[in-house]
Amino acid sequence: MDIEKIGDETVVNRFRLSAEPGYSEFWRRNKSPIAAYEMARLLSGMRKVASYVGRNSGTIIWSGMDASGAIAIDPAPVMGQYPVPAIKTDRILGLTIRKAYRKTEWSGRFYEMAQAQAKLPTRFAYKFQLFFNMCENVYLDCLSNRTVLGVYTEAHRAHAINTAFDGASHPPTISELLHIWWGIAADRSGTQYKQPYTDTSSRAISKQTSLEKFYKKPIELLNTLVEPLVDTCPRIQGVTERGNFRVNLYQLLWPTLFEMIKYWATDSKDPFLLLRKVGKNVLEPDGHEDAPPPPVYFSKEIQKILPKRTIDFTDRVKEIVFDDKADVVRVEINDIVMPAQVRINKKLLHHLKLVIKTTAQKITLFNRGLRTGKIDRRRLYRAPTTGTIFQTGKDDFELVNDIILLIDATGSMASQHKWEFAEEIYQTLFTALKSYNKNARLFAYNEFKDVCRLTELYQRDKFYSIFPHGKTASGEAIIASILRFKSSHKKPFIIHLTDGASNWGCGVENAIRTCQRKRVNLLTLGMWCGKKSKEQLIAEYGNLVQFVDSVDSLPLLFRTLLNKSKWS
């Protein structure tokens, strides 16, 4: 801590907080010194990070855990020290992100396709496998470099390259060549591959030998792949088209590269060498063996500890729906959010508060036992003693009904400017509602992996946001919102903001009938709606929908909507 002296007093000006090096140290606070709890919490963090890769990234598990089609991560590199250091956390997150991208881009499927096309003999097949996997690593790391996820893949890449490099080996080797190229091609600056290769290894520093005479020409050839992988391939629409593009790209370059590296050594995992019973450490030094998997009981213990925070409303929604129960889609509560930029429109907020005030219930708050103010007849007995026989009254307004503001965050809202405008609307409207009802809640719904996810966007006095994505299951979202209300004699409100009709699930008709049966007022605001969308919304919601064509018209439209329902 820093200590200053002000006058005769010693004042602590600033405390120095010790922090570990590592990007994950900034956000990862849920740690534990107990091994099983720490590994379970780290796995939860890995799953949250992987969810930002894409909708088909799959479930993340530790090796030994049971889950079909999941991405298994070896926990050995992070075990032994608890809480897990931030540097190790960054590396395991980088590996998780790369494997998640590998699944979303179907790398395994396209490797089988490329291998079938190459038709190489057994002794050369492993060389092609190393080449293909490293090209995919470059492509996947460059995809992650487009976002903040790139800092984690960079941490794992640097560690993997350093681990694979053996100063005592005899160059040239294919593994060393490809790892050196990986570091050059996937560099986050995006410019290193444009520079000629220079050897900066310990061999060059000690003047034992220079790797440039072995690797300079192959790296120049491999660098011709970088620009198509970084710029051209990501622009192609469709995962199949992108995969075919990469396979053709690799197949065109492979014959030329193969002539250069045809007789080079690979590594100790070459199946051809293992079949010939070559010693496993002939090509790699001690310490490169794969660590044994964790015991089965440890994985089961982690599975028991993993928090089951996902609340599934599907069965409860099916119980409520009157007909077409088979059409009800899966509905879950989601807790993965990101901080939102505050976009409150102060002018709009002022007008909305005036509108809500006209429908709010007036409550007079009294402050009694004062020495000045109006006479309080119930305190006249104090006149000869303390004289505190006065009171003051203050009028306050309160919405006594429970309120949920429900936001459509599906794929039609994915345009950046559209979603920013939606954030401005719902943050301003919710702030106005919150000023008259402290229990008001804010939810958004979207679709992810064929699940309608309901996410709370206002927690601990802060606004959060999600990625608009997927199909629109308005019916299930409204019914799930009804289930979030606590039992009360007051008639609650659901204020629904959407830009179009429901196109998935049981439909809005079931939700409206449920609102009528549960005595819930459903009010809908249509935003950025075309002529066809307006007709569809009117057909679904009737007179309980108003259309917002501009921000200035929102207060008047909101007043009209409120007037069509009676506060009770």
**Alpha carbon 533 to chain centroid distance?**
30
Block residue for tokens 């509560």:
333
Block residue for tokens 């996947």:
140
* Range(s) of the domain holding residue 467: 328-342+398-565
Non-local (6+) Cβ contacts of 450 within 8 A are: 329, 330
Q: CA-CA distance, 30 to 54, in Å (whole number)?
A: 24
Cβ atoms of 86 and 24 closer than 8 Å: yes
Let me know whether 164 and 99 are in one domain: no
Which amino acid is it at 139? Answer: Y
Number of separate domains in the chain = 4
Q: CA-CA distance, 370 to 500, in Å (whole number)?
A: 57
In this structure, is residue 261 part of a structural domain?
yes
End-to-end CA distance of the chain: 57
Question: Which pTM does this prediction carry?
Answer: 0.61
Let me know whether 440 and 519 are in one domain: yes
For residue 289, the model assigns a pLDDT of 46
DSSP per-residue letters across 93-126 = HHHHHHHHHHHHTTHHHHHHHHHHHH---HHHHH
DSSP-based helix, strand, coil % in the chain, nearest 5: 50, 15, 35
Rg (CA), the chain: 31
In this structure, is residue 123 part of a structural domain?
yes
Cα-based angle 435, 437, 441 (whole degrees, multiple of 5): 100
Let me know whether 238 and 385 are in one domain: no
In this structure, is residue 541 part of a structural domain?
yes
- Please give the structure tokens belonging to residue 332: 């879950």
Let me know whether 136 and 78 are in one domain: no
Let me know whether 502 and 452 are in one domain: yes
Q: Is the dihedral of CA 102, 108, 109, 113 positive or negative?
A: positive
Let me know whether 249 and 334 are in one domain: no
Q: Is the dihedral of CA 447, 448, 453, 455 positive or negative?
A: negative
Cβ atoms of 23 and 87 closer than 8 Å: no
C-alpha to C-alpha distances, 544 to 46, 56, 415, 558, nearest whole angstrom:
43, 37, 26, 11
* Bridging pattern class, strands 493-498 and 403-408: parallel
pLDDT tens digit at each of 568 positions of the chain: 455 555 555 555 554 445 668 888 888 878 888 888 888 889 888 988 888 887 677 788 888 777 677 888 888 889 888 889 999 999 999 999 999 999 999 999 999 999 888 888 777 888 888 999 999 999 999 999 998 999 999 999 999 988 887 655 667 788 888 999 999 999 988 888 888 888 776 665 555 667 778 888 988 999 999 999 999 999 998 889 999 999 999 999 999 998 888 888 776 565 555 444 444 443 444 444 445 555 555 667 777 777 655 678 888 888 888 776 778 888 988 887 888 889 999 999 999 999 888 877 777 777 888 888 888 888 888 888 888 888 887 777 787 778 899 999 998 888 768 888 889 999 999 999 999 888 899 999 999 878 899 999 998 889 999 889 889 999 999 999 998 887 665 778 899 999 888 888 888 888 998 888 888 888 898 888 888 889 999 998 888 888 888 888 888 888 877 776 554 4
Cβ atoms of 255 and 237 closer than 8 Å: no
In this structure, is residue 315 part of a structural domain?
no
In this structure, is residue 318 part of a structural domain?
no
Let me know whether 134 and 226 are in one domain: yes
Non-local (6+) Cβ contacts of 112 within 8 A are: none
422: domain CATH number is 3.40.50.410
Let me know whether 432 and 549 are in one domain: yes
Query: In the chain, what is the greatest distance between 2 CA atoms, to the nearest angstrom?
Result: 111
Let me know whether 528 and 543 are in one domain: yes
Q: CA-CA distance, 288 to 37, in Å (whole number)?
A: 29
Domain end marker among 355, 378, 394: 394
Which residue, among 297, 245, 286, has the nearest Cα to 114 in the 3D structure?
245
DSSP per-residue letters across 165-176 = --TTS-S-BHHH
In this structure, is residue 23 part of a structural domain?
no
Let me know whether 295 and 338 are in one domain: no
- DSSP-derived 3-state class of residue 238: coil
In this structure, is residue 311 part of a structural domain?
no
- Please give the structure tokens belonging to residue 102: 């590998």
Let me know whether 220 and 256 are in one domain: yes
For residue 159, the model assigns a pLDDT of 92
In this structure, is residue 317 part of a structural domain?
no
Let me know whether 415 and 468 are in one domain: yes
Q: CA-CA distance, 39 to 79, in Å (whole number)?
A: 8
Non-local (6+) Cβ contacts of 67 within 8 A are: 59, 61
